[in-house]
Amino acid sequence: MLNLFKIATRNLRRYRRRTILTASLIVTGVIFVLVFVAVTGSFKTMMIGQVTDSFLGHIQIHSKGYVASIDSLPLTMNLRSQSVKKVEKALHEIPGIEAYSPRIKFGGMFSNFVETTNIRLNGVYPEKEIKTLPFFLSRIREGGKIIKKKGEILVPELLAKGMKVKVGDMVVVIATNKDGSVNGKQFRVGGILESATGPGGRDGYIHIEDAMEILRMDNMEVSEIAVRLKDFSRLHEAQNKLQDAFSSELNKKGKPIFEVHTWEKLSPFYNIARMIDLMTFFIKLMLVAIVLISIMNVMIMAVYERVREIGTIAAIGTLPGKILSMFVIEGFCLGFIGAVIGSIIGGAVIFIINIYGVTFDFGRQKGLILSTSVNPNDFIVVSVIVIIVSVLASLQPAFKASRMDPVQALRHI
C-alpha cells in the first residue's frame, strides 16, 4: 500500500503544474465553504441567541390553541393557577430545565396624558424573566436595570420615542379584562427597552402583580410560561419530555390542555435559519461539483497520458485491482492535499475575520459583532466530503485504466 502511495505522489509531482492548479481549485473551494459555514453558522447561532435569550425563551408552554390566536392575546385562553402548578411541577421534575418565567400577555392603551396609543404588555416576575432571558437586561437602554418594584413599566423604545416619554415620566395603562371590564393604572417609566426583531420584540413589561391588578385577576392566570434549557442542543428532547409529561392532561372533551412549542415554531427567524442551512447545503454541493469535475478531469488526463505505462505494468503482471488502486490513490492524495491545505488556510481566514471583527445590523439591532467560529466537526465533514468525492471521481478513470487491454495500451503512441 505504501508503494502505491509513493507512486501516486510521485506521479502528482511529475505533473506539478496540473497538480498545483487542481489542488488550488479544491483549496479555494474548501476555504470558501469553511468561511461561509463559519460566518453563516455564527450568524445563525447569534441570531437564535438574540431571539431566544432576549424575549422568546427556548420553549414556551401555553393553553392548547393559544399560539394559533396569539395575535389577539386572548385572556380567555390563559392557564389557570391549577394548570400553572402542574406545569411548574413538570418543569421541576424534568432534568435540563434551567429557568422558567410565567407571563401574562395582554393588549391595552398607553397614555402620556396628552396622547394615547395601543401597547402589548407582558406581566412578569422580573427575577424569573432575567434568569430565563439572559440578554433581557442588555435591552434596557435607559433607566434602571430591571423593573425594581411594582408600579414601574419598561416602555419599548419606538413607543417611547413616538409618545415622547422618558424615564421617570408617569403614564397610564388601560386594559380590558376577559369579562369586558375596563381598568387603568398609573405607572412610572422605569426604563426604555430596545426593540428586538420578532414577535414580542416590541412589547412593554410590567410586574406580574400589576398585570393582575389591571386585569382584575383574583387568582393568577398566565398566558405562557417561557422556559430556558441548560443545554440548547437538547431542545427537541426537552420538548418531547414536556409533551410526554402533559400527555395525560386532557380537558372534558378529551383534548390536551397544554401545547409545548420550541422557539422554532414561534419565531419567523426559524425560516431564515432554514434558508441559511439550505444555502450551506448548496454551497457544499458546489464544493462537491468543483472537486468532482476537477479530479475527474485530471484523472482522465492522467490515464490518457499514461496509456503506455498502464500497458507496461499490466504486461509485467500487475493485477487490475492494483492498477485501479494506483489511480484511486492518486485522486485520494489530490483530495487529501486540497482538504488539508484548504482547512488550514480556511481556519486562518476565520481567525483573521475574528481579529478584525465583522459588524452587521439585524432588524433594529445595530452594530452586532459577528464572532465567527467553526465547529471542528465542520472541518472534518468538509474534508471527508472532499476526500470521498475525490475517490469517487477517480473511480471511473481508474476502472478504465484497470480494464485496459495491454496489447492496445502498449501500441498507444
Which residue ranges make up the site for other proteins (CB under 8 A)? 3, 7, 10-11, 13-14, 308-309, 311-320, 322, 403, 406-407, 410
Specify the residue for cell string 402548578: 85
C-alpha cell at 389: 468525492
Least gap, CB of 35 to other proteins (angstroms): 36
Least gap, CB of 407 to other proteins (angstroms): 5
- Closest to other proteins by CB, 230 vs 412, is 412
Question: Cα–Cα–Cα angle for 304, 308, 312, nearest 5°?
Answer: 135
Which phi-psi region, left, alpha or beta, contains residue 46 (left: φ > 0; alpha: ψ -120 to 50)? alpha
DSSP state of 220: -
- Closest to other proteins by CB, 14 vs 85, is 14
- Closest to other proteins by CB, 358 vs 410, is 410
- Closest to other proteins by CB, 311 vs 338, is 311
Least gap, CB of 316 to other proteins (angstroms): 5
Taking Cα atoms as reference points, which of 225, 189, 4 lies closest to residue 97?
225
Least gap, CB of 312 to other proteins (angstroms): 4
Least gap, CB of 315 to other proteins (angstroms): 5
Cβ atoms 61, 224 nearer than 8 A: yes
Taking Cα atoms as reference points, which of 139, 69, 140 lies closest to residue 107?
69
Cβ atoms 125, 103 nearer than 8 A: no
- Closest to other proteins by CB, 9 vs 45, is 9
- Closest to other proteins by CB, 254 vs 317, is 317
How far apart CA 396 and CA 195 sit, in angstroms, is: 57
Cα-Cα-Cα-Cα dihedral sign, residues 217, 218, 223, 227: positive
Least gap, CB of 295 to other proteins (angstroms): 19
